[in-house]
Structure 1
């Protein structure tokens, strides 16, 4: 029942036997054969009487209602189809910061039955070119201020033949194109299993892959973690730092708020100080950001009455993207009174599948499996392990991994399960405790050492702002633990601090886990989404 005229995506799906088993065992996960996610998330809100509710907010007094977003998306969809010749199944690259026009462009692509390939604003021409080639992208909509790198990429990759720029200060480009288009558009009747987005992984390994998600995957994700753990209402105001090219943001700042008729604040710049200022300015109630941001904001947050308990509005805080250290959770709660909602998700799964709400959170535990999903801990042969035993995390549910024409599909999906690449322990109560990435487990003199445990210990030292731990080769022990430490401002580094950190680690965790090597950095290498790039540290250590 596909609507796709351009069948590139369907032609490059993994074969059925290489895909995971998909489970739709909740009443809210029953979808019709034909489904367009723009109809479900945007147009349905207008039809059901929410058209005048605020949907998108941004600095500068920008407040778009659901009806206004629908009108703008319809006009852009008309440009795509009538002027640029987009047909269902074409790939459309989207490039821009988090702002309302980016969201309008995304919905326009959905309405036209095309496939959105949203890219990080910091990507350069070479990286954009790799994405253009892999996804065979023919069209692009780009923020005018970011045009240089895309134009350079387009010059080298002629498959990208149609480009329009929005938010053009001259009033030209896409802005002018939409002015003469009608406010209405008949959404393409896409199949529920037509691909709607290609989400490129954020590059923690240095080798990004394109994950394929269907129109049904987005409402399916909204029916699981948000409905059962976050539990937002139509009166909530979402805010966060991740870029919209990251599925953590696409879910948390677009799909999930719109699924309940709430509003979201879009910030083009969302550093910790800017987030702290924006929360009271916009009356935000739900915050999405990474553990490093919570840690960076904690001290300043003590003096700001922005939480609901102090007469402000913020009531829920969500962390994902990387492991949440117990010390960061405690630091944030001490500063604000809010218990962070932790979760593990993956670009391959679209969003969070293990989590716990505020009432059920446990320090050091990610949470329990989210309703709609199943999870287990297995050994290298796929045999399920008993509680208390470390092993590989395997998960399945209504979403799952489909790589675009990539042999690594066989590494991620085995026997119907998605193998996330994480090492976990499940306790007797069903809580999942993160150990490390499978490839990051350090084996030193026969001992298995998880990087996060050593990092957690070092983060408790008052001289440490950030740290990351890896294993490096050692002739005697096989590997030794090496810590890369970002000291707090004003802290003097040197051999005495190295010894102090080593002694502190020995007193906090088993002595064999202490870092035998310590290197001081001014900052840790991270992706644009805030994820730590351990492979960069391994490259540095091997020089």
Structure 2
């Protein structure tokens, strides 16, 4: 760190992995070279004002709007209030709990501007799950939406040191965030953080055990804002952005707050209670031009988008799980828009392989984003020939640093990040997703990626959703099993199972067909819409 840290609380810095376990960071492009003193909130909001965007709308929600100037002033008030009312010091962690709202966005920016470390949590987490995050991150304060106090209060009381709670979302509350902030300065300068000071701890959506906390610096975030959004997304100040991923998820934090702010665009946060139909209506009625969500939700929105129309929409970003070609095609038929796919991850903050417009190739996620490098390797980290299935490895301006976690060496090897995905790369440099490493099914000597079978099943007119896993088998080692949610009007019976099996045999290699089909009413998914195959494996 060439500029001394402004964070006097060194709790997180003291729990960085050893330097030899870090990935290599590369800043090969001029726009990725961040000044040694930088703060995400100060930089993004300051640049917006300097570019003359002060009177443009930044944040929108039903019945509420903030211009860039208004948001900047409120962030300053919140930041000063946190330092002076709560006697917090730079480097303290602040747990954030809220759905996607203007209040949550302003609170996040205020925390970071004050030199504090944001620890945002998914809105659906229960107290027992919050306990683990609190125990690992040791926050000095929790900032919580008034509607989410039910789980927050017992978690705060269970903390090793009683955790104070600052409530937002109730402007009439005299001790709430809004009232306290109103008594502070709109011009507070904030904390002069070093670029390598920590901006956030992002907790991964792990399947078991203690959650992993990813250490993300101001430099990481600002470099990410200048990578994929600038070279692939190319948002403009005239764009209006919306979507479903939570701000507690780095896909949502980037797409629905930081990247639009960097572009001078505005974000619309719909009410937290929305269905596929109401989301389409909100997009149409609010002139949405860019949407972020997971493939499953695009599939659910497609019939409503086709019937109602969203004339303003121009870019649809899909991430969080593999994008089936059937979903891509369905959305294009419904809206005329070719979806923008991408792969990223909490460990590296956001998307690093993607393609847009004429560069899109069905069946491929895309090419490596400028500023990043990626390759497909074998178990010894040797690059494999083009077209050969292997493990993805990537390197660039962002990378994985787990806080106080032995699993760091599972993710980083020889300076490269290994996200745990199986890929191939073709002769033109396009990357083709196969499966998560643990979702590859080896059946009778054949390697089969679960997403490929799911993609095929989703093209059948009777299938609404599906999930595919490998099931142990004495003869074949593993067999392919499919869990299927049928569309209304179709019967879950043996004849339907056989019809689906024959359909797969006809459309892809016959050895890839599911030897078992189980009909279910719903599939287990994370709060961000990602299919939880590990739960299907537990149920098999």
Partner of 1:329: 328
What root-mean-square deviation, in Å, do the aligned CA atoms of Structure 1 and Structure 2 show? 1.2
Residues 285-312 of structure 1, C-alpha deviation per residue, up to 9 Å, x if partnerless?
A: 0111110011111112112231xxxxx2
For the residue of structure 2 that corresponds to 1:33, the secondary structure is: coil
Please tell me whether the aligned partners of residues 294 and 328 of structure 1 are also in contact (alpha carbons under 8 angstroms).
yes
What is the Cα deviation at residue 49 of structure 1?
Answer: 2.3
**Cα distance change, pair 540–382 in 1 and its aligned pair in 2 (3 A):** same
Partner of 1:86: 88
Distance 1:530 1:42 in 2: 31
Instruction: Determine which of 275, 290, 308 is the counterpart of 1:271.
Output: 275
What is the Cα deviation at residue 266 of structure 1?
Answer: 1.2
Please tell me whether the aligned partners of residues 73 and 104 of structure 1 are also in contact (alpha carbons under 8 angstroms).
yes
Name the count of aligned residue pairs.
535
What is the Cα deviation at residue 11 of structure 1?
Answer: 0.3
Distance 1:160 1:360 in 2: 53
What is the Cα deviation at residue 206 of structure 1?
Answer: 6.5
Instruction: Determine which of 161, 164, 181 is the counterpart of 2:163.
Output: 161
Please tell me whether the aligned partners of residues 386 and 427 of structure 2 are also in contact (alpha carbons under 8 angstroms).
yes
Partner of 1:298: 302
1:353-502 counterparts in 2 under 5 A? 353-502=352-501
Answer yes or no: is 1:97 the counterpart of 2:99.
Answer: yes
What is the Cα deviation at residue 176 of structure 1?
Answer: 2.1
Please tell me whether the aligned partners of residues 280 and 301 of structure 2 are also in contact (alpha carbons under 8 angstroms).
yes
Answer yes or no: is 1:149 the counterpart of 2:151.
Answer: yes
Distance 1:455 1:36 in 2: 43
Answer yes or no: is 1:243 the counterpart of 2:242.
Answer: no
For the residue of structure 1 that corresponds to 2:173, the secondary structure is: coil
Partner of 1:67: 69
Partner of 2:262: 259
Distance 1:490 1:358 in 2: 37
Answer yes or no: is 1:49 the counterpart of 2:52.
Answer: yes
**Cα distance change, pair 205–272 in 1 and its aligned pair in 2 (3 A):** farther
What is the Cα deviation at residue 358 of structure 1?
Answer: 1.8
Distance 1:85 1:207 in 2: 30
Answer yes or no: is 1:287 the counterpart of 2:291.
Answer: yes
What is the Cα deviation at residue 509 of structure 1?
Answer: 1.1
Residues 29-66 of structure 1, C-alpha deviation per residue, up to 9 Å, x if partnerless?
A: 11111111111111221233221110000112x11001
What is the Cα deviation at residue 233 of structure 1?
Answer: 0.7
What is the Cα deviation at residue 420 of structure 1?
Answer: 0.7
For the residue of structure 2 that corresponds to 1:279, the secondary structure is: helix
Distance 1:296 1:422 in 2: 26
For the residue of structure 2 that corresponds to 1:329, the secondary structure is: helix
Residues 169-194 of structure 1, C-alpha deviation per residue, up to 9 Å, x if partnerless?
A: 64332222122222121211111111
Residues 172-221 of structure 1, C-alpha deviation per residue, up to 9 Å, x if partnerless?
A: 32222122222121211111111110111123567531111000111111
Partner of 2:114: 112
Partner of 1:309: none
What is the Cα deviation at residue 277 of structure 1?
Answer: 1.1
Distance 1:55 1:169 in 2: 20
What is the Cα deviation at residue 67 of structure 1?
Answer: 1.0
For the residue of structure 2 that corresponds to 1:70, the secondary structure is: helix
What is the Cα deviation at residue 162 of structure 1?
Answer: 2.2
**Cα distance change, pair 353–379 in 1 and its aligned pair in 2 (3 A):** same
Distance 1:35 1:348 in 2: 21
What is the Cα deviation at residue 146 of structure 1?
Answer: 0.7
Distance 1:174 1:40 in 2: 23
What is the Cα deviation at residue 224 of structure 1?
Answer: 1.0
Distance 1:117 1:339 in 2: 34
**Cα distance change, pair 487–205 in 1 and its aligned pair in 2 (3 A):** farther
Please tell me whether the aligned partners of residues 465 and 484 of structure 2 are also in contact (alpha carbons under 8 angstroms).
yes
Distance 2:319 2:274 in 1: 16
What is the Cα deviation at residue 161 of structure 1?
Answer: 2.8
